[in-house]
Structure 1
C-alpha cells in the first residue's frame, strides 16, 4: 500500500459502556478509492466524525494527510472535501449562492472572480445547472445530494470523505457520479466513501474495510478479496453421501451445496457420478462482495449510533 492518507491506531469511541468504535486500525493509501462498509449502527459515521475532528476519540489516534487529528484540523480540513450524513444548505438560497457563501466563509477564500468561475465549474461537474436560480428548498433529494458533492469539491481537495454520495439518485445519476469520482481519483484525489450499495463499491473501489459492531473485521485490496478461491461448488441431492466420499477435501456443506478443494472440476464430477452421487450443478466457487461482507460480519447490526456528543467547536 502507498503512503497512507488516513491512518488510525486503536481508534475507540465509548458512550458509557457501549463501544461505538472499538480499536479500529485503518490504512487508506494515497490515491486509493476506499470503500467503508458496515450495517447501520456499526460505527461508520462515528469513525468518520473522528477522522474529521468533529468528535474526540476515547482512546487511540487518527492521522489525516500525515497530520494528527483533531489537533491539526485547521491545516488539514481545507484540503479535505466532506459529505457526511446528507448535505447542509440554506434552503432559501440558490445552489450557486450556497457554494459562494461556503467558500467566502472558509479560511482561505478565493477572489470573487475566481470564486464565481469555480462555483460554476463544480455545479456543472455534478450535473447541476449553474444558471438555476431556484432556492434549494425546491431541489429534489438527488439534487441536494449533488449540491453537497459540489460543496465538497469547491476547494479541489486532496481527500474526499463521502457518506452515501449517491443517496437519492436514479440509476443514471449514480452512473454519472461514479464516473465523476473515478475521474477525480484518476487525477490524484484519494476517496474514502461509505455506502450500502455494494455493487457501486465493487465497481469503484480499490480497497475495502468492513465494520461490525464497531470493530474493523476486514481490510483488504478488493482484487484480493474477489480473486478465485480455488474451490469447486457442488450442488447435489446426495450432499451427505458426497461429503463422506470426498472426506477432507470438503471445506463446507450447506444443505445441498458443498465447497470442495479440487484441482480439476471435470475429474471431480466424474468421480462423483461414477460413485453413484447425483450432481445437479458443479463449477468454480466465486464470491462477490456481498458474500465477502456477510462472511466477515459475524453478528446482527448493533443499535443505532448514539447522539453527537463532544462535538468540537471550530
Structure 2
C-alpha cells in the first residue's frame, strides 16, 4: 500500500453526551480513490470536517499530506480541495466571480496572485465541471445541479493533491453523475488522491478503489474493493431446467430461486461439465461475488433514520 495521505489514530469527537466519531484509525493510501460509506448519523461528515480542521477532535491525532492537523492547516489546506455538505457561494455574484474571490482569498502573493493566472485557473475549473460557458447570472438563479458543479469547481481551483468531497453527486442528474465520475477518475489518474463520503453505494462501487465503512462513529471496515468483492466459493447457475439441475447437484445446491441456483463449487468449469453430462441445459454460470451493498448491510446496524426504544442520540 502507498504511504497514506490521510492518517488518523484513535480519533474521537464528542458533542456533549453524543460520541460522533469513536476511536477511528484511518489510513488513505496516496493515489487511491477512497469511498467513505455508512448510514446517516454514522459520523462520516464529522470525520471529514475534522480532517479539514473545521471541527477539533476531542482526542486522537490527524495527519493530512504528512503534516499534523489542524496545527499545520496554513500549509496543508492550500493543497487540499474540499466540498463539505452544501456548496457555499455568494448568491448575488456570478459563478465566475465567486471562484475569482475564492482564488484571491487563497493567494498569498507571487505569480499565483496575477489576475491573468487567476482568470485562467477559474476558467479551467469551470470547464472541468461543465460550466465553461456560464454567463453572468447570479448564483441564486442556478439550479441545484449547477450549484453542485460550482462547489466542485471551487475544490479544483488550485490543482489539489487531495480532494475531500462530501456527497459530490448530490443534485446532479444521471448525465452529470457520469461526467463527475469521469472527471474524478481522470484527476486520480493524474495523481490526485480522491476521498469521497457518500451513502450512494452504487456510485462508490463504480468509482472507488478502496472503501471504509462507518457505523455509529466506528470505522468497522477498510478494504480494497477488489478484495472485498472476491469470489465467495459459490457459483450462480441459471438454467431453464432447475428441477433437473437440483437433482444433479444434490447437496452441493445451497439455494434455488426460479431459474437461479446457488451452488457450492470450487471450479466453475468442472461444475458446468457435470451439469452437461447430466443433460442439464445451462443458460449462464458465473462465480458469486458479494456486492458492496451486502457488505455494508452486514457490517452496519439499522441506521440512524430509525429511532430505537433507547432513543440513542446520533450525529452526522
SS in 2 for 1:13: strand
Answering whether residue 82 of structure 2 is matched by residue 112 of structure 1, we say no
Q: For structure 2, which runs of at least 5 residues remain unmatched after alignment?
A: 306-312
**How much does 1:171 deviate?**
1.0
| RMSD value, Cα | 3.0
- With normalisation by structure 1, the TM-score equals 0.83
User: Which deviations, in whole Å up to 9, do the C-alpha atoms of 1:94-113 show, x marking residues without a partner?
Assistant: 00000011111225363111
Answering whether residue 141 of structure 2 is matched by residue 135 of structure 1, we say no
Aligned equivalents of 1:62, 1:268: Cα separation in 2? 55
Answering whether residue 267 of structure 2 is matched by residue 260 of structure 1, we say no
Paired residue for 1:84?
84
SS in 1 for 2:6: strand
2:304 to 282, 302, 305: 302
Answering whether residue 184 of structure 2 is matched by residue 181 of structure 1, we say yes
User: Which deviations, in whole Å up to 9, do the C-alpha atoms of 1:102-134 show, x marking residues without a partner?
Assistant: 111225363111101111111111101355100
The 3 A distance-change label for structure 1 pair 285 and 108 is same
SS in 2 for 1:230: strand
Aligned equivalents of 1:154, 1:196: Cα separation in 2? 26
Q: Do 1:208 and 1:219's aligned partners in 2 also have CA atoms closer than 8 Å?
A: yes
Q: Do 1:269 and 1:282's aligned partners in 2 also have CA atoms closer than 8 Å?
A: no
- With normalisation by structure 2, the TM-score equals 0.83
SS in 2 for 1:121: helix
SS in 2 for 1:128: coil
Aligned equivalents of 1:170, 1:50: Cα separation in 2? 30
- Count of matched residue pairs: 296
User: Which deviations, in whole Å up to 9, do the C-alpha atoms of 1:167-224 show, x marking residues without a partner?
Assistant: 1111111111111111111110010001222222122111111101111111011111
Q: Choose 132-141 or 22-31, whichever is displaced more.
A: 22-31
Map 1:134-213 → 2, pairs under 5 A: 134-213=137-216
**How much does 1:253 deviate?**
7.2
Q: For structure 1, which runs of at least 5 residues remain unmatched after alignment?
A: 275-280, 308-314
Q: Choose 119-128 or 228-237, whichever is displaced more.
A: 228-237
SS in 1 for 2:231: coil
Q: Choose 76-85 or 257-266, whichever is displaced more.
A: 257-266
Aligned equivalents of 2:28, 2:72: Cα separation in 1? 18
SS in 2 for 1:105: helix
Aligned equivalents of 2:263, 2:17: Cα separation in 1? 41
Paired residue for 2:226?
223
SS in 2 for 1:285: strand
